[in-house]
Amino acid sequence: MLLAKEDMKKADPTSNKPSDSELLDRYRAGDQDAFRDIVERYKNPLYSFLRRFLNRHDLVEDVFQETFLQLYSSRDKFDSNKALHPWLFTIAANKAKDALRKQQRNSSLSLGAIADSGGVSVDDVVNLLDSYKITPDEEVSNAETADMVRAIIANMPVNLRGILILAYFEQFSYKQMAEILSIPIGTVKSRLHTAILHFTKRWNEANRGSNAE
């Protein structure tokens, strides 16, 4: 994985950077530079999340801007004792889903339906992984692998795509994901299992396809 969550959580004792709540407090007191600091602090993780989730530049840029505008207009509702990171992603995830819904209304192209995630257990995940003994294909370059992965993620149903990105790339906890997606923790786990099954099946199909060529 790209970055262990423990590494992300570790506070840097040498850093003098203000905390999120300090920045928001400063901002509420009229310091506009504090909001710029917040944008600078979260621009890369947020952009990266949206790029993976939406996979379309125009939508990504719109949702990115709308997320920070929403953060601004809701600044007084934020509880300083809570972490800003999941709140920001809650806004972004909702805005991204709205954008996809809007796009779906305007387009006859399927963007991936909402997949039913009920009844999938960790046993199903293990059984599937056990049945697929994937042999890494040395001939496939990293760039080709990245293209295959991007295509699989882009074609995943929206709810599975969201949970996989939040869990794998953003490494949110179950509790945080439940808050971000407004669903119970049990549903988060079940949906994540379904997302793993989905990805594994599609990856295996794609891998067999590339080996056959």
Partner 1 sequence: MNNLTQEEKDVVLDFYFRCGDDERIRKGRDLIASDSGAAELYASLEQTLGQMDQVKYEPCPDNLVDITIARLNLAVSAEKVRNEDPLQSAGGENENYSNKVYTGKKWWNNISDLAAVAAVLLAVMSFAFPSLGKMRQLARQNECQSRQRNIAAGISGFVNDNGSLLSSIGETEDGTRAWKNSYPWELVKGGYVKPDNFLCPGRKDGQKIDIPEADYAKYDDFPSRRNMTYSFVVHCRVRANKPLSANDALLVDRNPVFEEYDINKNQNGKLSITDQMTKIMSTNHGGRGQNLLLGDGSVTFMRGRYHMGDDIFTIRGKLIYDLLRGEVPCDENDIFLAP
Q: Give the shortest CB-200-to-partner 1 separation in angstroms.
A: 5
Residues 96-115 that bind partner 1 (CB under 8 A): 105-108
Residues 170-189 that bind partner 1 (CB under 8 A): 171-174, 177
Q: Which amino acid is at 188?
A: V
Rounded Cα distance between 3 and 20, Å, is 21
| 3-state class (DSSP) for residue 113 | coil
* 119 lines the binding site for partner 1 (CB under 8 A): no
**Contact mark string toward partner 1, 5..44, x via CB under 8 A:** xx-------------------------x--xx--xx--xx
* 169 lines the binding site for partner 1 (CB under 8 A): yes
Q: Give the shortest CB-51-to-partner 1 separation in angstroms.
A: 5
* 52 lines the binding site for partner 1 (CB under 8 A): yes
C-alpha separations of 145 from 80, 149, 203, 208, 209 in Å = 42, 6, 10, 13, 12
* 94 lines the binding site for partner 1 (CB under 8 A): no
Count Cβ atoms below 10 Å from residue 35 Cβ, excluding itself: 17
Residues 15, 142, 212, 213: which binds partner 1 (CB under 8 A)?
142
> Measuring CA to CA, which residue among 116, 123, 122, 61 is closest to residue 92?
61
Rounded Cα distance between 38 and 123, Å, is 42
> Measuring CA to CA, which residue among 148, 121, 141 is closest to residue 156?
148
| 3-state class (DSSP) for residue 4 | coil
Q: Under the rule (CB under 8 A), what is the footprint of partner 1?
A: 1-2, 4-6, 32, 35-36, 39-40, 43-44, 46-48, 51-52, 58, 61-62, 64-66, 68-70, 72-73, 105-108, 121-123, 125-127, 129-130, 132, 134, 136, 142-143, 145-146, 148-150, 153, 167-169, 171-174, 177, 192, 196, 199-200, 203
